[in-house]
Structure 1
Amino acid sequence: MHNQKIWHEKLYNNLGQYFLIDQLLYENKTPYHEVKIFKNSIMGKIMTIDGVVQTTEKDEFIYHEMLTHVPIFSHESIKKVLIIGGGDGGILREVCRHMNIESITMVEIDLNIISLCKKYFPNHSKNAYNDSRLKLIIDDASIFIKNTKKKFDLIISDSTDPIGCGKKLFSLEFYSNCKKRLVKNGIFVSQNGVFFLQKKEILLTYKKLKKYFYDVQFYQAHVPTYYGGTMLFCWGTDHKAWRKINFKDLKLKIKNKQLYFNYYNAKIHMNSFNLPQYILNTLDKS
């Protein structure tokens, strides 16, 4: 063990998680990111971008199921989906499981991430890139969303943290453009980090989204890979009823689709919007 290298996450200055690198599989700089992929005996293969853990083989299903199925099952009829980022293919894999969805547009800035994840994380996408409903666009999503004329029922922003080229995907302009590209009563969701350590960023998102959406909330999941406790996903829509879905109706929806999950279920869906009091206290004051 003393010959193994230790990798330390750089997201927070004064604390963070460490991983033992059992085997380094890839390390290089793309035009946009510094990427490292390595094996760890507990979490399997891990991909880091710019010194921050992005995904692991072991627990990716929690993040990808929650960011995808909460909005899809909340809405009555999602037909057109836009995925922003998500180069590892996990969100795409989960979206593709819904056969009633007619078109999926995915905008990823870095083709290298897609290629690397197809090679090192094939189970993330499970051949979803071959789905005939997919239109893959390699572009800066902030530019795409500004210029496109297409409208979507659901926009899922699966971006890196608000650092580097991911910063634009947390801006007022980006949220405004996302709102414009949603159909009436469409839903916008995004990963928003760990509240306990990224409170400032989450509060900024909350204030910005409230300018454009009638119903702005956060829902939660516990993803072991993301250090610091409760991970939040932001939720923006003008239709409050989507969040107030009836439990029996939701259970029936899931049953009728004959989809099976490792984390997501009807009770998790309903309860994920029930946040710890310290988070509610902070949001109430903002």
Structure 2
Amino acid sequence: MIKWADEQIARGIRLSYGVNRVLSQASTPHQELTLIENDQFGRVLLLDGVTQVATADEFIYHEMLAHVPLFAHGEARDVLIIGGGDCGLAEEVLRHEGVRRVFQVELDAAVVDAARRHLGAINAPVFSDQRFHLKIDDGVRFVDGLDERFDVVLVDSTDPIGPGARLFSAEFYRAIQRCLRPRGVLAVQAGMPFLQRTGFATTVANLSSVFQRSGCYLLASPSYVGGHLSLGWGSDSLRIDSVALDVLEGRIARSGLNLRYYSAAIHRAAFVLPPYIAQLLPSRSVDQSTPQAPATASA
């Protein structure tokens, strides 16, 4: 019986979860899947020994990856999700009544199956929502052949190792750029700048090399050990970092959503970067040190 599940956070750093119960453990064609119960974090999904989602704090990551681009856009109708097999992100996106379609592409069917069986607390509404469409496929291959257009694309991927590595490349971001509408925006998981400095810097540099406007924003989630977790973004016209506070507040109020982490103030503050992170952004990238507040919001 497993008593502890270990995650190698970075060189010289290891996190151990006490295991109350093993809910699922399997070797899929793509990765090692482990789903456990823990006193503090609830149900925890690990892939290749790396934490993907914990039911106790998943709302932090999912709200920030979903609502920052969606409320910045203001009129998103069609959303594409690459990855996100636990379907917690899709659940958050589908809370926006104006979204008419969420198309999700996940590489590993076993992740979706395990999540559907054991993570209903974060994804149950998804599978009965007619706006949700799931395709099991390689995200890079899928986007390469895509001729549809989306308002928002969200990449909820593992770290840039193994099957997730190509989802951080400039080539992949260019393929996404081609399937975005004129005001479209991409948001991606970009790692922990303190412990994953090289991977973070490469991700934001790749975004900057493709999009006219790009950068990152931050969140703090207990199960992602190592300081701030960053989310990267790119758009050729939309400044998601400079939507006026009153515009965001109005959109949130009209949505009727009861959110636990995201707010208009958090949206604005998330783009203020500590100098040690800001200095890792390429010079071409949008200046993230102080978010701008134009009289007329660029949204």
Same fold (TM > 0.5)? yes
Alignment of 1:201-240 (within 5 A): 201-240=199-238
Q: What residue number does 1:196 align with?
A: 194
Q: Which moved more, 1:65-74 or 1:32-41?
A: 32-41
What CA distance in whole angstroms lies between the structure 2 residues aligned with 1:41 and 1:254?
33
Q: What residue number does 2:72 align with?
A: 74
Q: What residue number does 1:168 align with?
A: 166
Distance apart, 1:240 and its partner CA:
4.4
Q: What residue number does 1:119 align with?
A: 117
What CA distance in whole angstroms lies between the structure 2 residues aligned with 1:128 and 1:31?
25
Per-residue CA distance 1:163-196 (angstroms, 9 max, x = gap): 1111111112111101111111210001111110
Tell me the SS of whatever aligns to 2:160: coil
What CA distance in whole angstroms lies between the structure 1 residues aligned with 2:12 and 2:209?
33
1:46 aligned residue (44, 47, 51): 44
TM-score, normalised relative to structure 1: 0.96
Q: What residue number does 1:99 align with?
A: 97
What CA distance in whole angstroms lies between the structure 2 residues aligned with 1:102 and 1:168?
29
Tell me the SS of whatever aligns to 2:148: coil
Contact residue 7 and residue 49 of structure 2 kept, 8 A:
yes
TM-score, normalised relative to structure 2: 0.92
Q: What residue number does 2:84 align with?
A: 86
Q: What residue number does 2:290 align with?
A: none
Query: Percent sequence identity over matched residues?
Result: 34
Compared CA separation, residues 252 and 146, structure 1 to 2 (3 A): same
Distance apart, 1:285 and its partner CA:
6.5
Distance apart, 1:277 and its partner CA:
1.4
Contact residue 7 and residue 19 of structure 1 kept, 8 A:
yes
Tell me the SS of whatever aligns to 1:283: coil
Distance apart, 1:14 and its partner CA:
1.3
Tell me the SS of whatever aligns to 2:218: strand
What CA distance in whole angstroms lies between the structure 1 residues aligned with 2:143 and 2:45?
27
Letter in 1 for 2:74: E
What CA distance in whole angstroms lies between the structure 2 residues aligned with 1:283 and 1:98?
31
Structure 1 runs (4+) deviating above 4 angstroms are: none
Distance apart, 1:152 and its partner CA:
0.6
What CA distance in whole angstroms lies between the structure 1 residues aligned with 2:2 and 2:153?
41
Q: What residue number does 1:271 align with?
A: 269
What CA distance in whole angstroms lies between the structure 2 residues aligned with 1:220 and 1:278?
13
Q: What residue number does 1:9 align with?
A: 7
Aligned residues: 284
Letter in 2 for 1:245: V
Contact residue 191 and residue 233 of structure 1 kept, 8 A:
yes
Distance apart, 1:27 and its partner CA:
1.1
Letter in 2 for 1:86: G
- Gap runs ≥5 in structure 2: 285-299
Letter in 1 for 2:214: V
Tell me the SS of whatever aligns to 1:19: strand
What CA distance in whole angstroms lies between the structure 2 residues aligned with 1:189 and 1:221?
13
Q: What residue number does 1:32 align with?
A: 30
Contact residue 11 and residue 51 of structure 1 kept, 8 A:
no
Tell me the SS of whatever aligns to 1:72: helix
Contact residue 62 and residue 223 of structure 1 kept, 8 A:
yes
1:258 aligned residue (256, 270, 292): 256
Per-residue CA distance 1:129-163 (angstroms, 9 max, x = gap): 22111221110000000001111110000011111
Superposed CA RMSD: 1.5
Letter in 1 for 2:55: E
Distance apart, 1:224 and its partner CA:
0.6
Contact residue 57 and residue 221 of structure 2 kept, 8 A:
yes
Q: What residue number does 1:18 align with?
A: 16
Contact residue 2 and residue 22 of structure 2 kept, 8 A:
no
